[in-house]
Amino acid sequence: MKASLLPDETARHAALSRYRILDTPPEPSYDDLTWLAADICRTPIALLTFLDGARQWFKSAHGTTARELHRDLAFCAHTLLQESALLVVPDARRDPRFADNSLVTEPPHIRFYAGASLMSPDDFPLGTLCVADHRPRRLQRAQVAALQALSRLAVAHLELGLLREVRTQQAALEEVNRRLQALATTDGLTGLHNHRAFQEALRQQCAQAARSGQPLSLVMLDVDEFKGYNDDFGHPAGDVVLRRIAAILRRNVRQGDQVARYGGEEFAVVLPGADASQAFALAERLRCKIAAATWPLRPLTASFGVATRARATPGPGRLIQGPGRLIQEADEALYRAKQGGRNQVRHAQIPHSSEGPPPGC
């Protein structure tokens, strides 16, 4: 006899689909459950099955090589209809629901069946954990209780798998967001912070310096005569220069300093805690590293402008020199370095700073 569908079959199927369990490979955690069910109930066959549309699909099968069955033949389709979530058939030949079932009249000649529904947390029967035998028999009360307990464990495994999938998806989403954030704040050519990230970093460091009373310096540099370099050798060659400049800056700043591509051939370095003399010395070191580097097409230099927000008495809301003022002063110092002959460092707060390359650079 064919089992009727549940009144809320559509909702039941949606609940089952949520677990993404159908047609997945065998898993030891489920195979252990069918092995235990067969061992406890002393049956040659144990199945963990899910009812999906017109078929009964076996997630785990102990004692048979079958992987699925037409739903019209499934004993488990009747189990899903039981209010007790349990169906025991002592002798299928004597049960009018199964007497003419081909699973009974033909191989594998099922005579005994016991199945416990896999009830989802929202009370939908997703499938069954069942045992079967080729001879009629009954289960002891403890065996029935064990079968029901194992069915609950099967649902717990389903829930755990769903939780793992949710966490995996969450981790993947966080990774996507991290990459998007990196793309939004990273210069695609050099891998440095971009202009937007630089502005935010400088704003945060200015606020931190105001709270702590520590100095803060900003270095801005521009590759000398870079337009002519691009015109003579092409933009791909110019891109190589910018990437190498970025690498030199990264290798030679202090830990905690923040390097950014400000725009075009201009770069910026935020120096938390650096006073005027420390910032000037670092800028000189960077200038010398760039000038001393081996450039494949012709020598290159860079000009530097430095500005420092001096140490102040800490206090809430103190912004003696904000980001805009610091950028303006560093940019004006950079302009003086360019006008003064290039390849030099000028500091907004140090008069007559570095008029030309120092000896030994």
Nearest 5°: phi and psi at 24? -90, 160
Q: What is the DSSP string of 333-348?
A: HHHHHHHTTSS-EEET
List 265, 266, 329, 355, catalytic entry: 265
- Cβ of 289: how many Cβ atoms within 10 Å? 16
Closest CA to 138 of 89, 101, 104: 89
CA distance 336 to 332: 6
| Residue 303 and residue 337 in contact, taking contact as beta carbons nearer than 8 Å | yes
Burial per residue of 201-211, b for 16 or more beta-carbon CB atoms within 10 angstroms, e otherwise: bbeebbbebbe
| Strand, coil or helix: 76 | helix
Give me 24's structure tokens: 């997945």
| 174 counts as catalytic | no
Residue 298 one-letter amino acid: R
Give me 324's structure tokens: 């805009």
Residues written for the chain: 361
Cα dihedral sign for 252, 257, 258, 263? negative
Q: Which residues contact 42 (CB under 8 A, 6 or more apart)?
A: 143
Catalytic residue ranges = 265
